[in-house]
Structure 1
C-alpha cells in the first residue's frame, strides 16, 4: 500500500522519484529536439526508398537467446513467466529458460529477422526496412551508455549484391549530411578479408574469436599492446610473429585514394580477389551517388565489429569531430535462415542515435510559427480559443498562458520548451492585431 501523503511504500521507505539507473526522463525541449532529429533521419531514409516497420518491444526468450545476438544476449532483460509460485521459482532458479518466456529486445536486428520470416510472402523480393525505436540492455550505466536507448536502423533483405551496401551507405551519409554533420566517412572492411588474413598468418580456427577480440583493440592499445595481448592469450606463436611482422612492415607514405590499390596495399598477399572487387564496387557506386570523384570511404583491414553473425561487409560511421563511431553495421546473410530454414541475404546499417543527437545544434526555427499567448484573467475564454484556433489553422504552434506575477520566468520556461515568440492578448484580439515579439 502506498501512502501518498507520506510518499512512502508499505515498508516505510521513501519512494524514489528518479527513473531506473541507466534510463532517462526527457523534458519537453529535449524530447522535441530528439523528435526533430528522428524526423530528419526518417525523411531521408524514406527518400531513398526504405519503408518503416514496427515490431513488439518483447520477443520470445528462445529467440533472443538463440546464439544470433552475440554478447548482447547476456545483457537481455528477461520477463518472468506468469503464474509461477515460490516453489516453481526455487525449482527453476538455476535455469533462466525455465523462469522466463519473453524478453525485452536488445537490438532491432533479431526482431527484423523474425518479422521478415513471419511476413515474407507479403513483402517485396528486395525489402528495404526502417526501424527507429528503443531497445534495452542490462549495461553498467556510464557516460554515453544507457540501459534504454534508441536505435535507428535501415536494412536491405533479399539482395546479395553490393548494391545493398552502396544504398545503405549512401542513405546513411545523406541523413547525416541533412542533420548538418557534413564530412562524415565510413570505415569499411569484410569479415572474409579478416578470415583470409588470419589464414595467412596461421591462426588456428578455435583461437580466432579471441584473436579478433584483441585485434579490435588496435586503435586503443596500439600494435605493441595487441601483440603482447595475443601472446598472453597463448595464441599460436608463429602466427603472432607473422602478424607482428605485418604490422611493423616498412611502408611508403604514398597516398592512395579509396580503391583497389589502397585496399591491396593494406593487406597481406593472398587476400581474396572477389572480396576486394566487391569493396571496390561499393566505393565506385557510393562515389557516383555522392557526385564526387573519391568516395567518403576508408578501408580498415582491422575493423572487426564484435557481432558474430556478420558474414561479409562490415562498416562504421565516423566523423572528424569525435574519436568514436556514430554507428555501424554489416552483412548478416545467415541470420534469417535460422527462422526460415534457407538463407536469405541481408545487410544493415544502424545510426548511434544517442551519440548523434548530442553532437547536433538546435536548428533555427520560424519565430512566427511558435508563440505563447499571454493574457489577463478577465479575457473571455471564447476569445482566446478563437484566436488560438486561427493561429493553429495557419500552421502555428500555440500555447495560452495566464499572465503571472513573474512574466520573465514564464517566458524563460516557454523558450526552454521550444517556443520562439510571445504576444499579449486582450479581449477581442485577432491574429491581425496581435503583436508578436521574439522570446530571445
Structure 2
C-alpha cells in the first residue's frame, strides 16, 4: 500500500478555485489566438524515443521521461548498454518537436502557411523547486511555411494581444537574432561552432551569474589567452545595457540581422520592442530571430520563442521555415484573477438536512433557468465559514431554502462577499 497520498514529486493537484482560474486563462488565450487566425491541433503525449533524442530538443532531451518497451526480459535489463536501449517511447518534453513531426506527417492536408496553436501539458525530469515542475502546461503558437518577417509580426501581435486581454500590463519584448550572437562571438575570436555553442550557453546565464561570472566561465572554458577577464566583464556589461541606438554601428554587429530587427520594430508600432544583444534563448535549434516577454516586476520571462528554420527539414528532407512563440502559462496564471463576471452568476442554494431531495432538485432546475451555475449545499453549523469557502470556490450569491420552499419566486439571493 502507498505510504503517501500527495501528488508525485514535482506535480500538482488543483482545487476547484485554482482549476477555474487556469481554465479562464486558457480560454482567454485560446480565444485571442483563434481571432488571430491560428488553428488548434493536438498531438499524443508520447513520441518515439529516437525522435525525442535526435538532437532537436537541446538540453531538454536529458530531462525526457522514457517509457520501457513492452516484453522486456531480465536478460534485456542486464545486457542493455544504456538506459535508452530499454525504451521505445517517451513523454514529450516540449510541444515543438511534436509539432515538427505533426507537420511532416500531415503536410499534404495543411495550408501552405500553417498557423498552429498547441496548448497541452509536457513533462520534464526536473529537480522540483519553486516555479519549476515536472508536469506543466505550454501555450504555443507557430507559423510554418512563411520565410518572411510576416511570421514574426503575427506571432508578436497575437502574443501581446493575449497578454492585454489577460490584463497583464507593463510587458516588453526583448529581441535579438542568432546571427548577431554569432557575429559578436566572432569579433571575440570564437569561430569554432562547437566552442560558440558552449559560449552561448554561458552567456545565457547572464541574469543568474552576472557579467563577471560569465566572463570568468568563458575564460576558463575557451582559454585565458583568448580573453582578458576584466576587459570581457566590461564588454558584457556594456552589451547588457545596449539598445537600438547604441548598437547601431558597433563593430560586433551583424548589420543585415540588425536591419531585419529594425524593420520588425517599424512594423510593430505600439509594441515595446527592446533590442538585447545578450539574449540567447538556450535551445540550439534557433536559427534567426529570438524573443522573450519581459516584465519589470519579475526576474524571469513570461514567454519566448524564435525562428527554427532547420528543424522540420530533419523530418522531411527539405527545409521548411518556422517560427514559434510560447507563453509561460504557469507563470501567467498566478498573475490573473477571475473576473467578477465569472462569479456573479454562480449561485448556491443552502438547505437543511431534512429537506426533500425531490423538491431540492426541482428548485435547482428552476434556478438553472436564470443562472449559469447552481449548486445545492447543505447548511453547516458554522454558516459564516461555509459561505466564505463558497466565495473562495467562485460562487457569487446564495439563497436559503426551507423544507416548505416550493418555488424561488420571492426568495432573496444575497452576495457571498
Q: Give the structure-1-normalised TM-score.
A: 0.88
d(CA) in 2 for partners of 1:405, 1:219: 53
After the TM superposition, which residues 59-78 of structure 1 pair with which residues of structure 2 at under 5 Å, given as runs?
A: 59-78=47-66
SS in 2 for 1:129: strand
For the 8 Å contact 1:168–1:349, the answer to whether it is kept is yes
Over the residues paired in the alignment, what is the CA RMSD in angstroms? 2.3
| Structure 2 stretches lacking a partner, 5+ long | none
Deviation of 1:117 after TM superposition, in Å, equals: 0.8
Say whether 1:418 aligns with 2:394: yes
d(CA) in 1 for partners of 2:36, 2:408: 40
Say whether 1:23 aligns with 2:4: no
d(CA) in 1 for partners of 2:354, 2:94: 54
| Structure 1 stretches lacking a partner, 5+ long | 1-8
For the 8 Å contact 1:211–1:235, the answer to whether it is kept is no
Say whether 1:139 aligns with 2:134: no
For the 8 Å contact 1:81–1:100, the answer to whether it is kept is yes
d(CA) in 2 for partners of 1:409, 1:243: 61
For the 8 Å contact 1:45–1:130, the answer to whether it is kept is yes
SS in 2 for 1:135: strand
1:328 maps to what in 2?
A: 304
Within the candidate set 407, 413, 416, 1:436 is matched to 413
1:381 maps to what in 2?
A: 357
Say whether 1:408 aligns with 2:408: no
Deviations 1:245-269 (A, max 9, x none): 7447799x9x97x5xx45426xx32
For the 8 Å contact 1:134–1:149, the answer to whether it is kept is yes
d(CA) in 2 for partners of 1:143, 1:362: 23
1:372 maps to what in 2?
A: 348
Say whether 1:352 aligns with 2:328: yes
For the 8 Å contact 2:289–2:307, the answer to whether it is kept is yes
Change over 3 Å in CA distance of 1:408–1:199 after alignment to 2 = same
Deviation of 1:44 after TM superposition, in Å, equals: 1.1
d(CA) in 1 for partners of 2:8, 2:238: 51
SS in 2 for 1:237: coil
d(CA) in 1 for partners of 2:308, 2:236: 29
d(CA) in 2 for partners of 1:278, 1:395: 53
Say whether 1:278 aligns with 2:260: yes
2:169 maps to what in 1?
A: 182
Say whether 1:222 aligns with 2:222: no
Within the candidate set 346, 362, 366, 1:390 is matched to 366
Within the candidate set 245, 248, 251, 1:264 is matched to 248
Within the candidate set 162, 187, 194, 2:181 is matched to 194
After the TM superposition, which residues 166-181 of structure 1 pair with which residues of structure 2 at under 5 Å, given as runs?
A: 166-181=153-168
Aligned residues: 414
d(CA) in 2 for partners of 1:178, 1:31: 19
Deviation of 1:97 after TM superposition, in Å, equals: 3.0
Q: Give the structure-2-normalised TM-score.
A: 0.93
Within the candidate set 11, 21, 24, 1:33 is matched to 21
